[in-house]
């Protein structure tokens, strides 16, 4: 499922290494992750959770800069990272 494809993103990604958390709408406890790169439309994350347990949709909060939490949709995963698309901000 969800293998990473060639570089086909529309927005430029900025490389970063920032702490963040993933929330799952009350289904399970939040988990830590690291944002490796980010753009206006998505991000690449390293997640402290077995990737098989990662739901298709979740909320990403950048804990280092206190950004607005964003709804995310899982686009791809490999052995080390997951790629997400931002689908909206929390009100």
**Three-class DSSP category at 57:** strand
What was the pLDDT predicted at 63? 84
**Three-class DSSP category at 56:** coil
Kindly tell me if the per-residue pLDDT of 26 is higher than 50: yes
What was the pLDDT predicted at 90? 63
Kindly tell me if the per-residue pLDDT of 2 is higher than 90: no
Q: Which residue has the higher pLDDT, 49 or 3?
A: 49
**Three-class DSSP category at 13:** coil
What was the pLDDT predicted at 7? 54
Condensed to tens digits (0 to 9), the pLDDT of residues 35-90 reads 999 998 999 999 977 777 889 999 999 887 767 899 999 999 998 899 999 997 66
Distance, in Å, from the CA atom of 6 to the CA atom of 18, rounded to the nearest integer, reads 24
């Amino acid at each position: 499922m969800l293998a990473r494809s060639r570089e086909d993103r529309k927005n430029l990604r900025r490389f970063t290494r920032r702490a963040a958390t993933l929330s799952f709408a009350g289904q399970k406890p939040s988990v830590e992750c690291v944002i490796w790169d980010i753009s206006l439309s998505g991000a690449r994350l390293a997640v402290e959770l077995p990737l098989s347990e990662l739901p298709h949709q979740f909320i990403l909060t950048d804990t280092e800069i206190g950004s607005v939490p964003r709804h995310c949709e899982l686009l791809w995963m490999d052995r080390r990272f997951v790629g997400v698309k931002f689908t909206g901000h929390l009100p």
